[in-house]
Amino acid sequence: DIQMTQSPSTLSASVGDRVTITCRAGQSISGWLAWYQQKPGKAPKLLIYKASSLQSGVPSRFSGSGSGTEFTLTISSLQPDDFTTYYCQQYNSSPWTFGQGTKVEIK
Amino acid sequence: QLQLQESGPGLVKPSETLFLTCTVSGGSISSSRYFWAWIRQPPGKGLEWIGSISYTGATYYNSSLKSRVTISVDTPKNQISLQLTSVTAADTAVYYCARREVSAFWYFDLWGRGTLITVSS
C-alpha cells in the first residue's frame, strides 16, 4: 500500500493568510492525487483532482501542485469557512489511500 | 441532482455481520457513467477505502478487508450494499458511500452524509 503523509497535522492561521499543506507519497504516484475538505460531522468534499485541477464550484483561492511524491494544497487567502480539516488521497495504485489529515485552526 | 444516503443498524455486536445500504436518488446506479464506493472513517481518524463496484457489477476491494467484505448492487431499489463479516471494535466508524465518475479515475466527487456504526456488546 502507498502511504500518504501530510504535514503539518495542525496549522494555526488567521483570516487572510496564505497557507500551504504538504502531502508526501511513499512512492511516486505521478500526478494522481486528490484533495478533500471535511467539516465536522460532514462528508468530505472534493477540492482538487489530478494534483492541480480545481473541481467545479470550488473557489479559486484553492490550488494544488506537485508530482511524483510531493504535493501541496495552497489556500491563497483564508476565509472563515476554510478552518477545517483537509485530506489528500492517492489514486495511482489500489488500494486508494488517504493522508491522515491536516486541521487548519484559527490562530 | 444525484444524492447518496447511507443507512444501517447503528450498533452491531462483535463477531456479527454488518449490513449497510446506500440509496441513490436523482439518478440510476446502473448508469455506465459511475462506479460506487464504500469508505469509512473511525472516530477521530482518517479515511479508509473499503471497496468499489462498477456498473457491470465488477468489484474491487481493499486487500486489508477483502476476506470480510462483499459489495453488491440492487438495481430495482437503486441501492448499493455493503456486507462486513466478523466485525470487531476496530470496525467502529462512520461509513460513507461515494461516487466515482468512470472518466475521472479513482477519486470521489460525491459523497453521502455517512452513517455511524458502533461495534459493541
Give the tens place of pLDDT for each residue, B75-94: 999 999 999 999 999 999 99
Q: What percent of chain A has pLDDT over 90?
A: 96
Of all helices (H) and strands (E), which one includes residue B43? none
Residues A47, B117: Cα–Cα separation, whole Å: 27
Say if CB B8 and CB B117 are below 8 A apart: yes
Residue A55 and residue B109: Cβ atoms within 8 Å?
Answer: yes
pLDDT at res. B30: 85
User: Does the structure show a pLDDT above 90 at B1?
Assistant: no
Query: Which among A42, A44, A96 has the least Cβ separation from residue B106?
Result: A96
The H or E element containing residue B1 is none
The pLDDT, as a whole number, for residue B104 is 79
CA B28/CA B71 separation, integer angstroms? 17
Separation CA B116–CA B11 (nearest Å): 8
User: Is A49's CB within 8 Å of B104's CB?
Assistant: yes
User: B45: nearest CA in chain A?
Assistant: A100
Cβ-based contacts of A7 with chain B (< 8 Å): none
Please give, rounded to a whole number of angstroms, the shortest distance from the CA of B17 to a CA of chain A.
Answer: 23
B46 and A55 within 8 Å at the Cβ level: the answer is: no
Cβ–Cβ gap A44/B111 under 8 Å:
yes
Pairing of strands A70-75, A62-67: antiparallel
Q: Counting beta carbons within 10 angstroms of the beta carbon of residue B66, is it exposed (0 to 12), middle (13 to 18) or buried (19 or more)?
A: middle
- Cell 450494499 sits on residue: B81
With beta carbons less than 8 A apart as the criterion, state whether B31 and B13 touch. Answer: no
Average pLDDT over residues B8-12: 97
Least CA distance to A51: which residue of chain B?
Answer: B107
Q: pLDDT tens digits, residue range B14-47?
A: 999 999 999 999 988 888 889 999 999 999 899 9
pLDDT digits (tens, 9 = 90+) for A62-90: 999 999 999 999 999 999 999 999 999 99
Alpha carbon of B14: minimum distance to chain A alpha carbons (Å):
25
Mean pLDDT of A3-20: 97
Q: Which of B48, B63, B111 lies at the smallest CB-CB distance from A43?
A: B111
Note whether B106 contacts A42, CB cutoff 8 Å.
Answer: no
Chain A interface includes B47 (CB < 8 A): yes
CB B17 within 8 A of CB B84: yes
Check residue B10 and report its DSSP letter. Answer: S
SS (H, E, C) A11-65: EEECCCCCEEEEEEECCCCCCCEEEEEECCCCCCEEEEECCCEECCCCCCCEEEE
